[in-house]
Amino acid sequence: MMKRVKIQVASLFFILTSLQTVFAQEPVKKDVPYVPTDQEIVNAMLTLAKVDKNDVLYDLGCGDGRIVVTAAKQFGATAVGIDIDPQRIREANENAQKAQVEDKVKFIQQDLFTADFSDASVVSLYLLPSVNLKLRPKLLKLKPGTRIVSHAFTMGDWKPDKKMDVGGATIYLWTVPES
């Protein structure tokens, strides 16, 4: 009887300690709310950017990984998703596993302002205008010819090379110019 009580107390202690750890974690500070991109728009973004098997695509604020997974599965690209939210990274990895593209994709939990995506040939965004503008100097330092594709939001006075309306949304494409 005493042994059983000790086991129950130990189990209760473990549960309470685990809950304390979970609730003690500070929430992740996000610059953008998570809003999934419709698959029709994902396909149009990747098509507009002319993504192919030779590309390295980075999706900044990748959410559940749908752009990254689609770039790998349907367009043959190597792709990396960056998101600050650990829950989104878990979902993205699960989605990559379901799509059987784990060998072509990677997801990184990181602040996109400090992340290194200098080897990108394509960058995809579904952020807010203020975030796009904050990222713009970093994007303009990428290799000339790198394509930037954005769902819904522009880059201020940097005029897009192309603009397309899809399913009630607008997508934009820019090419990083020669310095």
**179: confidence class by pLDDT, cuts 50, 70, 90:** confident
175 in a domain, yes or no? no
Return the axis-axis angle of helices 39-48 and 66-75, rounded to nearest 10°.
Answer: 60
Q: Give strand ranges (E) for the chain.
A: 56-60, 78-83, 105-109, 122-125, 147-151, 162-166, 169-175
Number of domains in the chain: 1
Tell me what pLDDT residue 27 has.
Answer: 55
- Apex 113 CA angle, 119 and 103, nearest 5: 45
Does residue 26 lie in a domain region? no
pLDDT tens digits, 155-178? 999 999 999 999 999 999 999 999
Q: Does residue 29 lie within any of the structural domains?
A: no
Domain, as residue range, for 46: 40-150
pLDDT, position 155: 96
pLDDT value for 41 = 97
The SS3 call for residue 90 is helix
Q: What percent of the chain has a predicted confidence (pLDDT) above 90?
A: 79
DSSP count for the chain of H helices, then E strands: 5, 7
Indicate which CATH number applies to the domain containing 44: 3.40.50.150
Residue 154 in tokens: 């522009």
Q: Does any domain span residue 59? A: yes
Q: Edge to edge, what strands does the sheet with 147-151 contain?
A: 105-109, 78-83, 56-60, 122-125, 147-151, 169-175, 162-166
Q: What is the pLDDT of residues 108-131, one digit of tens each?
A: 999 999 999 999 999 999 999 999
3-state SS assignment for residue 86: helix
Q: Is the pLDDT of residue 1 over 60?
A: no
Residues 13-44 pLDDT 10s = 333 333 343 333 445 566 678 889 999 999 99
Domain membership of residue 101 (yes or no) is yes
The answer to whether position 168 is within a domain reads: no
